[in-house]
Amino acid sequence: MSGQSKRWTAVVATAAAGILVLWWSAAPVAKQNGQQNAPNPVIKATSDPAWTPSKTAWGHPDLQGIWNNGTYTSLERSLKLADKEFFTEEEAVAYYNDMAAADVDGRRDQLVHYDFTQYGLDKWQNGVKANLRTSVIYDPKNGRLPPMTPEAKARLSVPRPRGADIRSRGITERCITGYWGGLPMLTNSGGPGADAEHQILQTKDYVLIVSQSSNDNRIIPLDGRPHLSSRIPRWFGDARGRWDGDTLVIDTTNLGHTSFRGASPQMHLVERLTRVREDVLLYQFTIEDPATWTAPISGELPWVTSPGPMFEFACHETNYGLLNILKSQMAAAKRGGPTESRRRARTEGELPVGAR
Amino acid sequence: MRIDLKSLSIGAAVTAVLAAGAWMFMGAPAAGQSSGTPNAFPASFRAQRTVSGRPDLNGIWQAMTTANADVLDHDAYAGPYPAMMGVYGAWPGGQGIVEGNEIPYQPWAAEKAKENAAQRMVVRVTGDDSQNDTGDPELKCYRPGIPRANYMPFPFQIFQTDEQVMIVYEFKNAVRTIHLTDAYPEGPADSWMGWSNGTFDGESLVVDVKQFNPYTWFDRAGNFHSDGLHVVERFTPASPYHMQYEATIEDPKVFTRPWKVRFPLYRRMEPNVQLVDFNCVPFVEDMMYGNLDSE
């Protein structure tokens, strides 16, 4: 079964149980054999000296393709790992296998209405590989978000409980954005592994990034024009691009509609996208938001190629889940019971990458 | 680097203005002479080429019709809730975009279009497909389908490569991919924007669009189709600043014969023009989910 067919299966959500059973059984086998049967399980995020980056017909570095930014790597480094920035390859594979197993096992005690694995939605089923980095964040050096400013602490201390009021629900739940819910482009590791694909399309004057999830998109002009005025906030910011050697540098402001981990609307994001190998795009970002954090934040995550094509993702048009969530919240409120499901509370407790 | 780019873009803008002036000065009178009408496009126009030699359709485009209200000829009217909305809710009149100003409905379908119009603002959120039985999909911030996306009163941007053309519509940030290779002849399922395969025919990009779901409408007047819809679009550059758009619409379940819509698309020429967000989901939530607790 080709990767393309696999994605069709996932998006259309029709089960191809026999094939998936094969995948299912492949993971434990690979684990037993120390990954000897699996193709290189660790992403090489460094440049391959033997590989010459290709160019477009007009001479720009060619970043085009469909890239998967799913990951098991957490945004912040575990306190246990302290100053350990990188895993060895062996450790990285062991971590990956543990997380893949948790993807499966972690749901056994949860109330789910279908099994992600059955539909090929787990990350290990979607090309996500092991990463040598122990956290997405590498600066601050401890791999963790810097301390928040008193201003931000005050701003974020106002409780915003979720309930039956639609505006209290998350923007992804409401289909206002897809799973990555804002910038920087870090997949929501609390969600399923599907739909972490992002297509990059280039013309002489623009770079277009379209995401599978909700078909969120960023149009990045390359002509050096100024940013939009702050009167026009954008769901995915106002992006301006330029080429720095083989790297696309994207400068983004106007992020007033979404908030990365409590960031203010003044957050300034600089992203660098470099194709380091034919099948690896290195995504790097630096966040500056003095109204929220006492230091800048930098991180990086390698993206891997993924089979095409992209599909329509009509989330709001068939958001039957939201209707059921609101109804259940109203019923719970009438009963005087808790107005959040156990599952969401659990997920949020784990603070997945990109969630807020 | 940045300053260089800026001065380059200023240079490009000046060039564009000069080119526009030259075209108006020389092209327009020539066109007038050849066709006898001052508002006709030149009889033949050869578009700027991409690196690979195809007509270059890249740019931000917008229709100037009122067809989103009604694809047929229509009068201006007050719109819904005039006591509250006044002229804010009013819709402009205009000449339609349908060739012959008639949609060849089968008799049952003509009745259904009238029923759609009467119920265009009746929104029921049922949590299943039956919620599409009434209400204009536009009202609910649903993807507008094809060809409607092209004459919504919003700009859209074309990104053209050799393998595919992607179009981003400002309305709802709807995206469609037009596959120019034979890699993806069919989609996995019916969808709102359909499955598009394109070829170039001389100066025209010809797009075959199929695999639509039955839920989109052609306008606010209730004109509709089924899942048998098949649309063939032609995007034909008509000047550096215009494209002719034509779509042939067939649906044997609903119409007695194929029919056509046609209108020009205008290149947006404002300096630094760009799409912004019309992420309309938050705008419809009160309408769609606000009355759940009264059930």
Whether chain A has a CB inside 8 Å of the CB on B184: the answer is yes
Question: Cα(A158)–Cα(A162) distance, rounded to whole angstroms?
Answer: 13
Instruction: For residue range A281-323, list pLDDT tens digits in order.
Output: 999 999 999 999 999 999 999 999 999 999 999 999 999 999 9
Query: Does the pLDDT at position B260 exceed 60?
Result: yes
Specify whether the CB–CB gap between A260 and A230 falls below 8 A. no
The residue whose two tokens read 């090309």 is A127
Average pLDDT over residues B236-260: 98
> Which residues share a beta bridge with A198?
A67, A211
Pairing of strands A65-68, A297-305: antiparallel
Domain count, chain B: 2
What residues pair up with B231 in beta bridges, in sequence order?
B209, B249
Q: Which residues of A touch B286 (CB under 8 A)?
A: 166
Q: Which parts of chain A are beta strand (E)?
A: 65-68, 137-139, 197-202, 206-211, 217-221, 238-244, 247-253, 268-277, 280-288, 297-305
Asked if residue B60 and residue B19 are part of one domain, the reply reads no
Q: What is the pLDDT of residue A55?
A: 97
A176 and B282 in contact by Cβ < 8 A? yes
No. of helices (H) and no. of strands (E), chain B: 5, 9
Q: How far is CA A24 from CA A72, A176, A190, B270, in A?
A: 18, 33, 20, 55
Domain boundaries of chain A, sorted by first residue? 3-349
> CB of B85 within 8 Å of any CB in chain A?
no
Which residue pairs, CB below 8 angstroms and at least 24 apart, start in A49-55? A51/A277, A51/A278, A53/A246, A53/A275
- State whether A203 and B5 contact (CB < 8 Å): no
Write out chain B residues lying below 8 Å of A166, CB-based.
Answer: 285-286, 289-290
Q: Please report which confidence band the pLDDT of residue B82 belongs to, taking 50, 70 and 90 as the band edges.
A: very high
Q: How confident is the model at residue A108 (pLDDT cuts 50, 70, 90)?
A: low
**Chain A residues near residue B183 by CB distance under 8 angstroms:** 308-309
Beta bridge partners of B201: B204
* Interface contact A224-B5, CB threshold 8 A: yes
CA B192 to CA A312: how far, in whole Å?
A: 8
Reported as a pLDDT band with limits 50, 70 and 90, residue A193 is low
Q: How far is CA A246 from the centre of its chain?
A: 23
Closest CA to A241 of A267, A272, A198: A272
Residue A198 to residue A208: CA distance in whole angstroms: 10
ipTM of the complex model: 0.87
With residue B249 as reference, give the H or E element that holds it.
strand B242-250
Domain identity same for B16 and B157: no
How many C-beta atoms surround the C-beta of residue B18 within 10 A? Answer: 10
Single-letter residue type at A97? N
Same domain, B145 and B26: no
Asked if B293 and A330 come within 8 Å (Cβ–Cβ), the reply is yes
Average pLDDT over residues B121-125: 92
CB spacing of B52 vs A57 below 8 angstroms: yes
Amino acid at site A2: S
Residue A202: predicted pLDDT: 98
Average pLDDT over residues B200-212: 98
Per-residue confidence (pLDDT) for residue A113, from 0 to 100: 53
Q: How confident is the model at residue A101 (pLDDT cuts 50, 70, 90)?
A: confident
Residues B222 and B158 in one domain: yes
Q: Between A and B, how many CB-CB pairs are < 8 A?
A: 123
Q: Tell which phi-psi region holds residue B107, choosing left (phi > 0), alpha (psi between -120 and 50) or beta.
A: alpha
Mean pLDDT of A268-293: 97
Q: How many residues can be counted in chain B? A: 295
B59 and B100 together in one domain:
yes
Q: What's the distance, CA A271 to chain centroid? A: 14
How many angstroms away from the CA of B89 is the closest CA of chain A? 24
Residue-wise pLDDT tens digits, A51-100: 998 999 999 999 999 999 988 999 999 999 988 999 999 999 999 999 88
Q: Is the pLDDT of residue A348 over 60?
A: no
B2 and B60 co-located in one domain:
no
Instruction: Please check whether residues B36 and B56 belong to one and the same domain.
Output: no
Domain that holds residue B13: 1-43
Question: DSSP state, B87?
Answer: G
Q: Do B159 and A223 touch (CB under 8 A)?
A: no
The answer on B32 and B89 residing in a single domain is no
Structure tokens that stand for A177 in this block: 């954005």
